[in-house]
Amino acid sequence: MSTFKDKIDLTRLPRHIAIIMDGNGRWAKERGYDRIFGHQNGVTSVREVTEAAAETGIQYLTLYAFSTENWARPQQEVNALMELLVDTIENETPTLNKNNVRLKAIGDLSRLPEGAGIKLQRCIAETSKNNGLTLVLALSYSSRWEINNAIKLLCNDVKSSKISINDISDETISNYLTTREIPDPDLMIRTSGEIRISNFLLWQIAYTELYFTNTHWPDFRKENFYEAIVDYQSRERRFGK
């Protein structure tokens, strides 16, 4: 039986795939549980998709794990999410090393609880020498925060004469973003049927192909991931030309 994985052209893979992992709460509500139950089950999807990306040969995978807006959620849910984050990072570090996956993080990481921040940085350090897939966690991240922060840094450097205002270009601005060492996404996936970007990588997705699926994140598996890649490969990218 043919699968979507069999249909993938390995010579035309997207270099970078970004995912808005949506639907954990709805998935849990449909089953009569609270939202955190959905987040807990979403960890399995993170593991599956990371494995699929590594096995396929994707170079960068960015997961929108926690937005700056998510801090406004009920404190109980935020605390549970942070605890889940810390436990997952700690538990998955050996697997990341086994699969040659390097972990990075983008966002306003200073807002993370001290314990979560320490364990995150420890995992980043312990996987830093891996040269396979780079897994990027967007934590306490929003694109408007990132652009606002970049403007402040850029203005400060102009003020101190480190850079001339006449030398500012698209490339200059990109170098002040938290993603400066990461290529722009070729493909962005959003699960759970919502058709919007939700303040995610707005500068970086100028020419990114978008893929929306009705599947809730806890049900998203390797074959769903492969299907998105096959759909991407069916498109002609023009980059505005």
pLDDT in tens, 107-157: 999 999 888 899 999 999 999 999 999 999 999 999 999 999 999 999 999
Q: Is the pLDDT of residue 239 over 90?
A: no
In the block, which residue shows the tokens 């970004």?
Answer: 18
Q: Which residues are known catalytic residues?
A: 22, 70
Tell which residue, 222, 224, 229, 231, has the closest CA to residue 192.
224
Q: Is the pLDDT of residue 1 over 80?
A: no
Q: Name the pLDDT band for 79 (thresholds 50, 70, 90).
A: confident
Residue 221: count other Cβ atoms within 10 Å of its Cβ: 15
**CA–CA separation, 53 and 204 (whole Å):** 20
Q: Is the pLDDT of residue 81 over 90?
A: no
Mean pLDDT (whole number) for 78-102: 91
Average pLDDT, the chain: 94
Mean pLDDT (whole number) for 75-91: 87
Q: Name the pLDDT band for 232 (thresholds 50, 70, 90).
A: very high
- What pLDDT, on the 0 to 100 scale, is given for residue 80? 86
Q: Is the pLDDT of residue 83 over 80?
A: yes
- What pLDDT, on the 0 to 100 scale, is given for residue 2? 72
Mean pLDDT (whole number) for 37-46: 94
**CA–CA separation, 206 and 128 (whole Å):** 29
Q: Is the pLDDT of residue 86 over 70?
A: yes
Task: Give every strand in the sheet of 187-190, ordered side by side.
Answer: 102-106, 134-141, 60-67, 16-20, 187-190, 209-212
pLDDT in tens, 150-209: 999 999 999 999 999 999 999 999 999 999 999 999 999 999 999 999 999 999 999 999
Residue 148: count other Cβ atoms within 10 Å of its Cβ: 11
- What pLDDT, on the 0 to 100 scale, is given for residue 85? 86
Distances (CA, A) of 55 to 7, 58, 108: 15, 8, 30
Mean pLDDT (whole number) for 16-44: 95
Identify the DSSP state of 59.
S
- What pLDDT, on the 0 to 100 scale, is given for residue 241? 65
The percent of residues in the chain predicted with pLDDT above 90, rounded, is: 86
Q: Which two tokens stand for residue 143?
A: 């694109």
**CA–CA separation, 23 and 80 (whole Å):** 17
In the block, which residue shows the tokens 């350090």?
Answer: 125
- What pLDDT, on the 0 to 100 scale, is given for residue 125? 97
Residue 21: count other Cβ atoms within 10 Å of its Cβ: 22
Tell which residue, 146, 134, 155, has the closest CA to residue 106.
146
78 vs 28, residue with greater confidence: 28
Residue 31: count other Cβ atoms within 10 Å of its Cβ: 11
Q: Name the pLDDT band for 13 (thresholds 50, 70, 90).
A: very high
Q: Name the pLDDT band for 238 (thresholds 50, 70, 90).
A: confident
Does residue 74 contact residue 35 with C-beta atoms inside 8 Å? no
